[in-house]
């Protein structure tokens, strides 16, 4: 289990509304919306069929959709621990996590095959956040999501997420500028961004950054040591897979 010291100064180091970490009740209309969005986005919908009003949706359904649906990832597909990482590109605490903590998690856990990182949008800080999220999805469509992700967090100037600047970043990263502009202008990934934000909020992630670590919610830009403690604990309690035996 992920634990943190209540006196830790990072306790509320997140952007958005302060919450108590409880999972929100998912209304019937929200369930229908998530189901429709999931189908639209091509997320796995096994067990989600039938009349939405009769479906007994569980938290596990939503976590599985986030963990295994299409989107940006890092790490081994069969890693013992999956971390779903929610962010808003305008969030200063998210930038702090990206610059100070994420590189250490990558070095010690992702590159070593222990952790799989899954990126999800939680665009909650206004229109500019939504524009940046859609732009990053367009970059993902061209195989340059993480480069674009880093570029967005490196740019903090006023109007950094205007359409003109987002297109400029794409050019700097040698994306197909015409295809990127068409994707951004047509709002191709608006539903994906909205779906991930809705599901994140439904699971209690009403501030950024937020994380689902093997389904356990952690809110805030905690230092690496907090993640290290929780990840090591989870890895220690996860049975190791038996290595394949050579064929006779």
- Of the chain, the percentage scoring pLDDT greater than 70 comes to 73
* Placement of tokens 């302060």 in the chain: 18
pLDDT digits (tens, 9 = 90+) for 185-217: 998 899 999 989 999 998 999 899 999 999 999
What is the number of other CB atoms lying within 10 angstroms of the CB of residue 178?
A: 8
Distance CA 214, CA 231 (A): 10
Of the candidates 14, 22, 27, which has an alpha carbon nearest to the alpha carbon of residue 124? 14
Distance CA 216, CA 156 (A): 31
Distance CA 153, CA 221 (A): 14
The region of weakest confidence among 45-59, 134-148, 207-221, 228-242 is 45-59
Q: Give the E-state strand segments of the chain in sequence order.
A: 15-16, 73-74, 81-87, 115-121, 207-208, 210-213, 216-219
* N residues, the chain: 248
| Mean pLDDT across 92-97 | 94
Burial 149-169 (b: 16+ CB within 10 A, else e): bebbbebeeeebbeeebbbeb
pLDDT over threshold 60, residue 23 = no
| Mean pLDDT across 131-145 | 96
Distance CA 143, CA 164 (A): 21
Confidence class for position 31, pLDDT limits 50, 70, 90: low
pLDDT digits (tens, 9 = 90+) for 99-113: 999 999 999 999 999
What pLDDT does residue 238 have?
74
- Of the chain, the percentage scoring pLDDT greater than 90 comes to 61
End-to-end CA distance of the chain: 42
CATH number for region 15-235: 3.40.30.10
């Amino acid at each position: 289990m992920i634990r943190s010291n209540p006196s830790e100064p990072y306790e509320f180091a997140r952007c958005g509304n302060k919450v108590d970490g409880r999972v929100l009740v998912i209304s019937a209309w929200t369930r229908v919306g998530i189901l429709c969005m999931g189908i639209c986005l091509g997320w796995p919908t096994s067990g989600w069929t039938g009349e939405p009003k009769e479906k007994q949706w569980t938290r596990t359904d939503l976590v599985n959709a986030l963990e295994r649906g299409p989107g940006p990832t890092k790490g081994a597909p069969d890693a013992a621990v999956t971390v779903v990482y929610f962010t808003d590109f305008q969030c200063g605490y998210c930038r702090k996590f990206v610059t100070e903590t994420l590189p250490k998690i990558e070095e010690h856990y992702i590159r070593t095959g222990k952790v799989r990182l899954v990126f999800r949008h939680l665009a909650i800080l206004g229109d500019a956040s939504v524009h940046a999220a859609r732009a990053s999805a367009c970059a993902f469509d061209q195989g340059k999501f993480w480069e674009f992700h880093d570029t967005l967090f490196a740019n903090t100037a006023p109007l950094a997420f205007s359409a003109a600047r987002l297109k400029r970043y794409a050019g700097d990263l040698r994306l197909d500028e015409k295809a990127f502009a068409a994707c951004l202008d047509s709002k191709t990934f608006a539903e994906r961004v909205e779906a991930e934000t809705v599901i994140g909020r439904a699971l209690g992630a009403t501030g950024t950054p937020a994380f689902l670590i093997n389904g356990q919610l952690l809110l805030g830009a905690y230092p690496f040591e907090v993640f290290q403690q929780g990840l090591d604990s989870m890895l220690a309690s996860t049975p190791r897979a038996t290595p394949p035996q050579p064929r006779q």
